[in-house]
Amino acid sequence: MTGQAYEYQDGSTTLEGYLATDASGKAKRPGVLVFHEWMGVSDHEKTACDDLAKAGYIALAADIFGKGDRPRNPDEAAQYAGRYRAGDRSLMRQRAAAALAALRAHPQCQTDKIAAIGFCFGGTTALELARAGADLKGVVTFHANLHTERPATAGTLKAKVLALHGAEDPFVPQAEVSGFLAEMRAAHADWQFVQYCDAVHSFTNPAAGNEPHKGFAYNKRAAQRAWAAMREFFKELFS
């Protein structure tokens, strides 16, 4: 397996993600886009890409913010994420689509077998890409914000959806969950929604710490269960 920085373009904007794949041959393999949390591409997303590459996929951690454009702290991260979450999320969808095009253009990618996953802000991004009608087999969200101003509609959403959620996440209230499920039903989506006990926001990221009373914390058990659920979902998508 090899992992390295990977540049691609959104118009005149240079984006720098991280690409992981099997370097031992040129055989094509299913592709997975990995969308980052609000701090940008970090070790968390790179590790996910490495694990996916070891499992037989080609994985691209997409860069939504732009090369060299990274928040330095959580306050800045909130401002960055706000730029893309606000309004109709057109730029978020545009940057996500640029990443999809970059992965699809890679010679090792099976272009008819691509999925997208995302963590927190990245989970929202993956959902927005699917809502826009992108040609994806499926999307997987980990502790994502689920609300949108541009919900999926019947006939537009092509991807199957697996949403993996912390049952005690204070940043995604039950009303938001209910709205998401109603959206999926109205769109006639093929969806699954899984909640993990004792898990709060950011439960897959070891860097989130171990103080769940803050509303975000790593939960090893939930993280392992969620990753296993994603792996089974991929078996279904790519069989």
Mean pLDDT of the chain: 96
Q: What are the boundaries of each domain within the chain?
A: 2-238
Q: Which pLDDT tens digit goes with each residue over 108-119? A: 999 999 999 999
Residue-by-residue DSSP string for 27-43: --EEEEEEE--TT-S-H
Per-residue model confidence (pLDDT) at position 85: 84
Residue 158's alpha-carbon distances to 101, 155, 168, 174, in angstroms, are: 17, 7, 30, 26
Per-residue model confidence (pLDDT) at position 128: 97
Q: Extract the residue ranges of the chain whose pLDDT is less than 50.
A: none
Give the right CATH number for 2-238 from 3.40.50.1820, 1.10.1040.10, 3.40.718.10, 3.40.710.10.
Answer: 3.40.50.1820
Per-residue model confidence (pLDDT) at position 24: 81
Per-residue model confidence (pLDDT) at position 25: 74
Per-residue model confidence (pLDDT) at position 36: 98
Per-residue model confidence (pLDDT) at position 16: 98
